[in-house]
């Protein structure tokens, strides 16, 4: 049986793990309260994606990796103090007829 974590991590898995490590390290440089908030958001996001996203969907995983790297670069800047996310519900807006 293949261990998903353990020996023989694929290149993409290694990239995901190093991105996660990068986020946790960046969180460590922030004040304590923000650190906990960042860690909780980041770990929730990674766990959600690991359950929802198919392992073989390379296109989407690479897209998420690039997105994550950009967000990590922003987080590393000393001006940034935390993360937040907005849930945009996809409601169809009807055009008001004048």
Helix-helix angle 32-52:11-28, to 10 degrees = 160
Does position 12 interact with another protein (CB under 8 A)? The reply is no
Member of 28, 47, 70, 76 binding another protein (CB under 8 A) = 70
- Scanning 7-15, 23-31, 32-40, 63-71 for contacts with another protein by CB under 8 A, the matching segment is 63-71
Does position 62 interact with another protein (CB under 8 A)? The reply is yes
Footprint of another protein on this chain (CB under 8 A)?
Answer: 53, 57, 59-60, 62-63, 66, 70
């Amino acid at each position: 049986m293949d261990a998903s974590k353990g020996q023989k991590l694929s290149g993409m898995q290694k990239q995901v793990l190093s991105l996660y490590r990068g986020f946790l390290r960046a969180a460590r440089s922030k004040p304590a309260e923000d650190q906990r908030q960042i860690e909780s958001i980041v770990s929730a996001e990674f766990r959600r994606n690991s359950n929802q996203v198919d392992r073989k969907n390379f296109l989407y995983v690479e897209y998420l990796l690039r997105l994550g790297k950009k967000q990590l670069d922003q987080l590393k800047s000393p001006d940034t103090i935390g993360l937040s996310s907005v849930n945009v519900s996809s409601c169809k807006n009807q055009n008001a007829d004048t």
